[in-house]
């Protein structure tokens, strides 16, 4: 079942499709969404809704991170945040849509959300 913005503590980009969630350890999960929007559009959206600049952590593939909560090293595996990753390049047409026949067939951009938790 797809998580909600209320569960995650951050907005989900309009039209983004829930792909999967994974155990991050220490009772945390992270959630992966695919988007047909461009990396630039997603970064601009999250800059606006989170009211912060975030940080470009890799240029190739372009990866931008936004911290959204307090990281407690003793109780968390990952800091709460939103990470945007550009999956389109000269060698990749995008992240494959895991839903058979799903549209788009490949997502040019992926959103990873580590929810804000009170721990």
User: In the prediction, which pLDDT does 87 show?
Assistant: 94
Q: What percent of the chain has pLDDT over 70?
A: 97
Phi, psi of 83, rounded to the nearest 5 degrees: -120, 130
Its domain, for residue 77, covers 17-114
Q: Domain for residue 26, yes or no?
A: yes
Could you tell me if residue 40 is left (phi over 0), alpha (psi between -120 and 50 degrees) or otherwise beta? alpha
Instruction: Label residue 105 by pLDDT band (50, 70, 90).
Output: very high
Q: Domain for residue 86, yes or no?
A: yes
User: In the prediction, which pLDDT does 45 show?
Assistant: 98
Please give the helix or strand (H or E) that residue 46 lies within, else none: helix 39-50
- Asked if residue 23 has pLDDT above 60, the reply is yes
Q: Domain for residue 119, yes or no?
A: no
- Asked if residue 114 has pLDDT above 80, the reply is yes
Q: Domain for residue 12, yes or no?
A: no
Q: Domain for residue 101, yes or no?
A: yes
Q: Domain for residue 5, yes or no?
A: no
Counting the structural domains of the chain, the total is 1
User: In the prediction, which pLDDT does 38 show?
Assistant: 96
Mean pLDDT of the chain: 93
CA nearest neighbour of 112 among 88, 79, 90: 79
Q: Domain for residue 43, yes or no?
A: yes
pTM here is 0.92
């Amino acid at each position: 079942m797809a998580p909600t913005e209320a569960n995650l503590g951050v907005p989900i980009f309009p039209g983004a499709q829930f792909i999967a969630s994974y155990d991050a350890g220490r009772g945390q999960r992270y959630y992966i969404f695919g988007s047909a929007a461009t990396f630039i559009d997603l970064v601009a959206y999250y800059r606006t809704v989170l009211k912060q600049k975030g940080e470009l952590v890799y240029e190739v593939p372009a990866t931008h991170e936004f911290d959204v909560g307090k990281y407690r090293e003793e109780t968390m595996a990952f800091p709460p945040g939103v990470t945007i990753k550009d999956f389109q390049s000269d060698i990749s047409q995008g992240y494959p849509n895991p839903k058979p026949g799903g549209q788009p067939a490949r997502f040019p951009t992926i959103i990873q959300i580590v929810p804000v938790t009170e721990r």
